A and B are shown apart, each in its own frame.
Chain A
Amino acid sequence: MINQRMVRQILLYSLLIIGVIVTIGPLYWTIVGATNPSGETLRIPPNFVPGTHLIDNLQNLLASVDIWQSLINSIIITVIYTLLAGFISTAAGFAFAKYTFKGKEAIFLMFLISMMVPYQALVIPQFELFANLGLLDTYSAIILPQLAYPFAIFLMRQNMQSIPDSLIEAARIDGASEFYIFIKIGLPTMVPAIAAVSIFLFTHQWNNFLWPLIALISEEKYTLPVALATIAGQRSIDYGQLMLGAVISILPIFLMFLFLQRYFISGIIGGAVKE
């Protein structure tokens, strides 16, 4: 009996460890590649030891694309987007969760249905729209289109339903304005949910590729994914610099994930399990 249990445990742990090797292994190997010369990355047998070639790879990378500029672009776009979209979806979620008003169901349904519409279906008209506005190749072109993000609004609504009505009523009786109630009661009680939704929005924008690929034309406006895809598409690829580019695009969000994983995870779970 004890033996059988031990065998089962060993089996399950081996499965989990293989899983870790498969998921984390490639990420670790990317870091190894970023610190080794190009020839070392693709070598038989493979190399798993970090090298000392990081600075050279960085110089090569900077020679083919201004990766620091792309990093700055990604940071500016993602931070502004997250702040604005976070606030907009919180306000909208509050309205849906805590008020009864004419057209509520219809408006909410409109947001829900639009979640089914693939983003690609909007790309062509948005390209013309931004061309007509003269906003192509600007930060605004990347920030504006998805500011009202239905999934984020949906998540905020789900979470804000748990704010006790009695709290809001009591504030009203005390003469608080609706705006004051939103800022002083809605926001503080919802900090974990807002954090989860913000991280969801941040990840979404940080990794956004198709639209920036279309809307950003000059190289000094490229975000990290667009810059990376450009290097990957070059005829003769230097693997060291490519791996370093991948590391630079993954590292910021990965560190954020390590510190804020609870919010990352509750952000995705919120849509699936909460009823």
Chain B
Amino acid sequence: MSIPSSVQYNEDPSPPQPKMNAKKKRSFITVKRAPYLFLLPAIVLFIIFTVYPIIYSFLLSFQTNAEAGRVFVGLDNYIRLFQDRLFYESLANTFIILIFQLPIMLGLAVVLATILNAGFIKLKGFFRVSFFAPAVTSLVAASIIFLLLLNRDYGIVNYLLSMIGMDAIGWLSDPFWAKVSLILVTTWRWTGYNMVIILAGLQNIPSNLYEAASIDGANKIRQFFSITIPQLKPVILFAAIVSTIGTLQLFDEPYTLTNGGPINATTTITMYLYRNGFEYFDFGYGSAIAYVIVILIALLSFIQFKWAGVTK
């Protein structure tokens, strides 16, 4: 029995006539129509709830509230945005968190994954489950837990610090430490998630690479930097892009943990969008902020692709 490829089928739209139950009429769902029918629900929903909002949001970003409803104001929202000190501040907050959090988290994830991948470690399953556990807790619940852990006067973290003779830190009340707190929560929540991705990447590295290196006399540290890291590059890139997109959208944690404060130190760009859209009901301005986020994400993903030297 020959097996025609699907390409051949495309050229010949009528499937072979059924031999065994020839009496059955050819159904409405032909090979040619079937993929469209299978895609139909996804496409219809996607157009209504994603494509339409993307276009609508773009149009909204050129409008503003007026007495008679919304009116087109050209680039006014964007001009206002570029003169808005708070917008710059929220942008800066987001990027400060991104720049420190991303390398710390990915570094930790690579280290943990490498240890767990070592042959002699026992109880691998237990460690993997433990490290991944934070990734299933809701961000709101995670933020609430840290709200209490980081309490200035009664929190465990300050208690532990006091045991090594350090002064209490205003984790949530000091503008600097509030950012650190956000970095702590997001790192706690996401390191295990990235570790699992990297662990899978590690297991895909052919073991003969290491064998050859051992024969050449390269030690473990050397092997880590000249085999593991280069081989992991695509996986780390994937994790970096996903995490960057996630951090640029940071909302649940600052909303619950600090509500953007103190003095806007943790107001992220998404929180600023939420405020303008759903506290001041300035949908036009909110949409302009949304489009800036879209452009930033596209730009950063592009840069990361280039930087990693991936061509496609």
A interface majority secondary structure: helix
Asked whether A124 lies within 8 Å of B277 as measured between CB atoms, the reply is yes
Residue A236 at the B interface, CB < 8 A? no
- The distance in angstroms between the C-alpha atoms of A77 and B18, with both chains bound, is 43
- Number of residues from B at the complex interface, CB < 8 A: 110
- The distance in angstroms between the C-alpha atoms of A95 and B49, with both chains bound, is 21
Contacts of A253 in B (CB 8 A): 136-138
Residue A272 at the B interface, CB < 8 A? yes
- The distance in angstroms between the C-alpha atoms of A209 and B271, with both chains bound, is 13
Contacts of A210 in B (CB 8 A): 251-252, 270, 274
> Closest residue to B118 on the A side, CB-wise?
A12
Contacts of B193 in A (CB 8 A): 268
Which of these, B18, B151, B293, contacts A175 with CB under 8 Å? B18
Residue A41 at the B interface, CB < 8 A? yes
Asked whether A273 lies within 8 Å of B235 as measured between CB atoms, the reply is yes
Contacts of B57 in A (CB 8 A): 121-122, 124-125
Contacts of A41 in B (CB 8 A): 148
A15-B115, A42-B154, A175-B21 given as contacts; is B277 within 8 A of A95 (CB)?
Answer: no
Which of these, B41, B127, B235, B274, contacts A19 with CB under 8 Å? B127
A42-B154, A225-B141 given as contacts; is B46 within 8 A of A23 (CB)?
Answer: no
Residue B69 at the A interface, CB < 8 A? no
Asked whether B245 lies within 8 Å of A88 as measured between CB atoms, the reply is no
Which of these, B9, B42, B51, B129, contacts A91 with CB under 8 Å? B42
> Closest residue to A108 on the B side, CB-wise?
B39
Asked whether A111 lies within 8 Å of B149 as measured between CB atoms, the reply is no
Which of these, A15, A88, A229, contacts B45 with CB under 8 Å? A88
Shortest Cβ gap from B201 to chain A (Å): 6
- The distance in angstroms between the C-alpha atoms of A99 and B91, with both chains bound, is 44
Asked whether B286 lies within 8 Å of A124 as measured between CB atoms, the reply is yes
Contacts of B188 in A (CB 8 A): 22-23, 26
Residue A128 at the B interface, CB < 8 A? yes
Asked whether B130 lies within 8 Å of A19 as measured between CB atoms, the reply is yes
Which of these, B6, B50, B112, B286, contacts A99 with CB under 8 Å? B6
Within B45-97, the residues touching A (CB, 8 Å) are 45-46, 48-54, 56-57, 60
Shortest Cβ gap from A117 to chain B (Å): 6
Residue A243 at the B interface, CB < 8 A? yes
Residue B103 at the A interface, CB < 8 A? no
- Please give 6 more A-B residue pairs, beta carbons under 8 A apart, in addition to A121-B57, A174-B18, A249-B141: A95-B36, A122-B57, A124-B277, A174-B19, A203-B136, A272-B235
Between-chain CB contacts (< 8 Å), 20 pairs: A23-B133, A29-B145, A30-B141, A46-B159, A116-B245, A116-B301, A118-B290, A120-B251, A120-B270, A120-B274, A124-B277, A124-B290, A126-B53, A144-B49, A145-B50, A170-B1, A174-B19, A178-B29, A179-B29, A268-B197
Q: Footprint of B on A, CB under 8 Å?
A: 9, 12-13, 15-16, 19-20, 22-24, 26-27, 29-30, 33, 41-46, 88-89, 91-92, 94-96, 98-101, 104, 107, 110-111, 114, 116-129, 144-148, 150, 153, 165-166, 169-170, 172-175, 177-179, 182, 203, 206-207, 209-210, 214, 224-225, 228-229, 232-233, 239, 242-243, 245-246, 249-250, 253-254, 257-258, 261, 264-265, 268-269, 271-273
